[in-house]
Amino acid sequence: MRMKHLGLAAVLFGTSVAVTSSAIGTERAHAATTPTYLTIDLATGGSIGKIGIEYDRPARDPWGGYDDTVHWTDAGEIFEANHELGPTFLQPRGVVAGVPIDPSSTWVRLEAYPRNTRSCPLTDWESYWQSDCYWSNYSMSNDYFGGFHMWVHPDENQDWPDIGRLDVPHISDDKGAFFAEGSIISPDPVDDGRLRIDVFQIDCYFTEVCIHPPTTSTGLTYGSFASGRSTGDAWTMGVSWPGRYMLVIEDTVTRAKIQALTDVTADSVPSIDLGVPCFGFLTCVTVSGPTAPDAQLSTFHPTPPTRILDTRTGLGIPNGPVRAGDGSIDTTNDDLRTDEELNHEFVVTGVAGVPTTGVSAVLLNVTAVAPVGSGYISIGPRPQGSGDIFDDQNSYGDWPTSSNLNVVSGESVPNMVLARVGAGGRVRLHVRGTTTHIIADVAGWFGYSQDDIGAAGYEGVTPVRAYDSRGDSRGRFGPRETRSIVLNERFGIPDDAESVVLNLTAVNPQGKGYVTASPSGSSTPNASNLNLIPGETRPNLAVVSLGADRSIDLTSFAYDGESTTHLIVDVFGYYSTQSTARSVAPAPFRVLDTRSGLGTTASPFTPSERRRLTIAGAGRVPRGATAVYLNITVVAPTAPGYLTAAPAGAEMPYVSNVNWAAGDTNPNMAVIPLGVDGSIDIEVSMQLGGSGTADVLVDVLGWVTDNQ
């Protein structure tokens, strides 16, 4: 892992932010040192304010959080604060030659705060400091003037430079200053002052593109600066220049504090999203507190099936098939590091009808296409980083012990995935043992914002088989054949249901192809729910909006133009706007592994064996959960068969969740209502009288609760 070389000022700045923000309000010792004055020509634009001064020697000011403080007048004169009287906002003592510093310091940092002009009119200095407005502190909501910050270092001869002319950001300046205000997205009401925010304009890495911060007349770099608290569901940087910023944000409710990097312009002020890792920023690290927000209670929003990732065409991931690994790489080559990261994650918000904020998770149908070897794929949120914000490897670490797809060479396999949204609206792919093209079609998203319009909750039903073409007089599906399947009260689906949760199973296809499920009456989308492999019976979960006459359409496509297949539809539940249930999608975690004995005995299932797995109240899933989102994987079975998961204590239904042939390792997602004691029953069915065995893994992707 390596820090990008950003130049001395940026590196020092990156390590000093915690000192700057924590120093405010602390007391420092007095040092009787004769100061040196840094020459400064302050172009105030008519503003009045103060400059806090930090350097690496004892403080002259025992009252404030800075080593010293001076004030500027609207004419640009610098006044020294009367340190003997108390806090540095008290009466200035007199004009000084410039910015005073300890001459033995090795660096000096300046942070400038213009006085509040939103509620206090501009006036001349003499009357201003004697008025009530003078006693009004700096405010980030100052809508005409902004603050600045800068580092100053002595040269190799230990001589301090002339700062030269610099500008206070103001709306009418020639650097494009604007009033920067963004929104705060939160699952609960946001009180005034909930967020503490410090923003510092910085320069970017030399291979990156950004708007560079300004320089003084003598060539010293400085940038826009602001420090304060949020107001309601809005946050502000005050009057700022466009460019790259470091933000330090603390949520005083959860005590989560992060450091983030982002670009800000007048047309693009980011939202702070309190419900997702990194508060929605792509690049961030944890400063203190939780390493990520808790997963949020969310409601479902179906979308038309839409492709958002296809590595064959460069959609979503632009640099070819996904290679083994998670995007981290041990090299000092910047281009290789960037390329590897791009190859293992993609954006799931702001695309295909999914909003950019307020999204906790997305439902994806993910397909591994033509893998070159055997292995498996895990999908999870891009996590919050730790350590150095400038280290582009800071977000990599231990990966959850869970999987979503298991693949073998040359075979295309799909699986539905409930994926929590990570930093920057991204999810990350961890591929083990192979390289493969990957396709992802979004089927819906889960949201938690307070004005969540169109929100739907999940309701489980007693699993039931709704359709089986083996009992249909039309027989097998032919190439490009579409059939409508009515899903109504007969199968536990009420009139207010908007989407249905189904398990689709292709039985003994004769050739390669795929199946698409879509609302009846709509055009068939460019998306797939099930991939066909000759002779293999394979299932996949699907969430499909109901169309005309409360029906869905199943369309079978054959690559050779002649293949046919049987199809089965099992119903497990539905989403309705009348439901008060909420879904929660954390990072995935494993609750059962018959190989190791996790959650069960350390032995594989035998034919017709049933085991009970307690999920709610036994770990991270709360006792009040009513259903669970699971990924169930059957590992290396020695005989063909199928698996059924159902609420504990209920009669085992005539449906299947996972089907396999001998030797296959097959996963499938399932949404199962919880039965007695927050448990489910799992039963494995194989050849009658056979002696086969099958190991089973269960990963929790999320849960449903009625607890509001």
Question: CB under 8 Å to 53, separation ≥6 — which residues?
Answer: 66, 67, 68, 69, 70, 99, 100, 101, 108, 109, 110
pLDDT attached to residue 4:
37
Q: Structure tokens of 421?
A: 């949204």
Q: Which amino acid, one-letter code, is at 534?
A: P
Mean pLDDT of 549-567: 90
pLDDT band, very low/low/confident/very high, at 83 (cuts 50, 70, 90): low
Q: Where are the domains of the chain?
A: 8-274, 299-447, 457-581, 589-705
- Distance, in Å, from the CA atom of 47 to the CA atom of 19, rounded to the nearest integer, reads 27
* CATH number for region 457-581: 2.60.120
Sign of CA dihedral 545, 548, 552, 558: negative
CB 375 within 8 A of CB 429: no
User: Which of left, alpha, beta for 315 (phi over 0: left; psi -120 to 50: alpha)?
Assistant: beta
Q: pLDDT (tens digit, 9 = 90+) per residue, 11-21?
A: 333 333 333 33
Q: In Å, how far are 246, 309, 360, 415, 442 from 525, measured between CA atoms?
A: 42, 15, 25, 18, 11
What is the chain's percent helix, strand, coil content, to nearest 5?
5, 45, 50
- Distance, in Å, from the CA atom of 110 to the CA atom of 69, rounded to the nearest integer, reads 9
Structure pTM? 0.88
pLDDT band, very low/low/confident/very high, at 32 (cuts 50, 70, 90): very low
For residues 264-273, b (16+ Cβ closer than 10 Å) or e, as one string? beeeebbbbb
The torsion angles phi and psi of 20, rounded to 5 degrees, stand at -60, -50
In the sheet where 299-310 sits, what is the strand order? 299-310, 437-447, 359-369, 413-420
Question: Could you tell me the fold of the domain covering 589-705?
Answer: Jelly Rolls (2.60.120)
- Distance, in Å, from the CA atom of 141 to the CA atom of 505, rounded to the nearest integer, reads 58
Is 10 a residue whose pLDDT tops 90? no
DSSP per-residue letters across 393-435: TTT--PPPS--SEEE-TT--EEEEEEEE--GGGEEEEEEES--
Q: pLDDT (tens digit, 9 = 90+) per residue, 270-310?
A: 999 999 999 999 999 999 999 999 999 999 999 988 999 99
pLDDT band, very low/low/confident/very high, at 315 (cuts 50, 70, 90): very high
Measuring CA to CA, which residue among 562, 528, 251, 546 is closest to residue 416?
Answer: 528
Q: pLDDT (tens digit, 9 = 90+) per residue, 492-517?
A: 999 999 999 999 999 999 999 999 99
DSSP per-residue letters across 149-217: EEEE---TTSPPPP-EEEE--BTTSTT--EEEEEEEE-SS---TT-EEEEEEEEPPPTTS--PPPPB-T
The greatest distance separating any two alpha carbons of the chain, rounded to the nearest whole angstrom, comes to: 100
- Partnered with residue 507 across adjacent β-strands are 566
pLDDT attached to residue 9:
36
What SS3 class is residue 244?
strand
Q: Which amino acid, one-letter code, is at 701?
A: L
CB 72 within 8 A of CB 78: yes
- Distance, in Å, from the CA atom of 582 to the CA atom of 457, rounded to the nearest integer, reads 6
- Distance, in Å, from the CA atom of 60 to the CA atom of 456, rounded to the nearest integer, reads 60
Q: pLDDT (tens digit, 9 = 90+) per residue, 508-548?
A: 999 999 999 999 988 988 888 998 889 889 999 999 999 98
Q: pLDDT (tens digit, 9 = 90+) per residue, 383-414?
A: 999 999 999 999 998 877 788 999 999 888 99
- Distance, in Å, from the CA atom of 319 to the CA atom of 331, rounded to the nearest integer, reads 18
Query: Quick check: do 457-581 and 589-705 share a fold?
Result: yes
